[in-house]
Amino acid sequence: MVLLGSTGSIGVNALLVAKRFGIAVEVLVCGKNIQLLNVQIKEHQPKVVVVAHKEDVHKVNHSRVYYGEDAILHVIEEANSKLVVNALVGFLGLRPTLKAIECDKKVALANKESLVACGSFIDISKIQPIDSEHFGLWYLLQERPVSKMIITASGGAFRDWDIKKLYTATLSDTQKHPNWSMGQKITIDSATMVNKMFELLEARWLFGEGEYDAIIETQSLIHAMIDFKDGSTTAHFANASMQLPIAYALDEKMDEAILPHVDLLQVGSLEFKKIEKERYPIWEIKDELLKNPQKGVVVNAANEAAIEMFIAKKIGFMDISTTIIKAFEKFSDVSSLHVNDIFAIDKEVRKFVGKSK
């Protein structure tokens, strides 16, 4: 397989599963964590390695090392592997997804931004989602009429905060996720609830038109639910681990135990909460975005630009959501006739956000 984003949590888990199933790793792509990359190279012996920056190339213990976005696209095209695991973070992951599909490769997709920004130009038949929520929906789907698909959220770092305190929340505060440790951007997205809105939009592209929603389940043991038209509801329970959806992406047969079962007696009880707009202002545009999924490119670009400004202390935490909403309203008539339009709109939105503060 080709693994994009090998040193992140998804990448690390993908390598564990690959080793378990005896799947060869042809290409490793990573950002800045060269120390971990060198450990991975020693264990998995990839043929090619790509890093983000030229200045890191000499630090990599491998004879074939490239750098930059163009190199990622090149190695995808040249690779013999028919599977690309895309665990890159952000809009950077879109071109590799498009390239892999162009090369008739299957994409095990953890890069949310690919579908969020460019869903209308992606061949869904080539995509195997490895988000636990979409995996849960796929797992539950039967040939019965569906009323609603529901995914769950943890609620993020500020789930239990006094709402007034959110206006002074710091970058460090956003990283204190109640359930697990993830990368910086996705943990911020969890705190704003943008991450969950993106997952709803992904579900819309993956499973088609219909009704989608999300609720908070504080222990992250239920990942998805489906309301069927007959009045019944099914839920997907699993201990929180990306190894289960990754395992199905790497081996479709999957006839062995990956995780221990959830012990409901030990759990005792579950807690559910509504996603409130006062705490998560971005939820104001959720329904309109799902009705107009092509506007995902606007929300994604505005979110990435706003997060950069938040990290640089140019705006406050709650300004992330208001910045996205302003951009969403400004670019109300977005239409993309060609995939290149997506990249043009992305640049225009980022420019608008940068000038708005």
Give me the tens of pLDDT residue by residue for the chain, a chain 357 residues long: 999 999 998 999 999 999 999 999 999 999 999 999 999 999 999 999 999 999 999 999 999 999 999 999 999 999 999 999 999 999 999 999 999 999 999 999 999 999 999 999 999 999 999 999 999 999 999 889 999 999 999 999 999 999 999 999 999 999 998 777 778 999 999 999 999 999 999 999 999 999 999 999 999 999 999 999 999 999 999 998 889 999 999 887 888 889 999 999 999 999 999 999 999 999 999 999 999 999 999 999 999 999 999 999 999 999 999 999 999 999 988 877 799 999 999 999 999 999 876
Rounded to the nearest 10 degrees, the angle between the axes of helix 339-355 and helix 296-311 is 40
Let me know if 149 is exposed, middle or buried by CB neighbors in 10 A (0-12, 13-18, 19+).
buried
Of residues 294, 278, 275, 286, the one with CA closest to residue 324: 286
Q: What is the pTM of this model?
A: 0.93
Residues carrying CATH 3.40.50.720, the chain: 2-129
Residue 179 confidence (pLDDT) = 76
Start-to-end CA distance of the chain, whole Å, equals 43
Which CATH number is 2-129's, of 3.40.190.10, 3.40.50.10210, 3.40.50.720, 3.40.50.620? 3.40.50.720
Residues carrying CATH 1.10.1740.10, the chain: 144-355
Sole residue written with tokens 């090369």: 103
Residue 357 confidence (pLDDT) = 62
Lookup: tokens for 353: 């956000």
Contacts for 125 with CB less than 8 Å, ≥ 6 apart: none
On whether the CB atoms of residues 113 and 93 are closer than 8 A, the answer is yes
On whether the CB atoms of residues 207 and 190 are closer than 8 A, the answer is no
Lookup: tokens for 347: 């640049």
Top-tier CATH class for 144-355? mainly alpha
On whether the CB atoms of residues 201 and 134 are closer than 8 A, the answer is no
On whether the CB atoms of residues 200 and 151 are closer than 8 A, the answer is yes
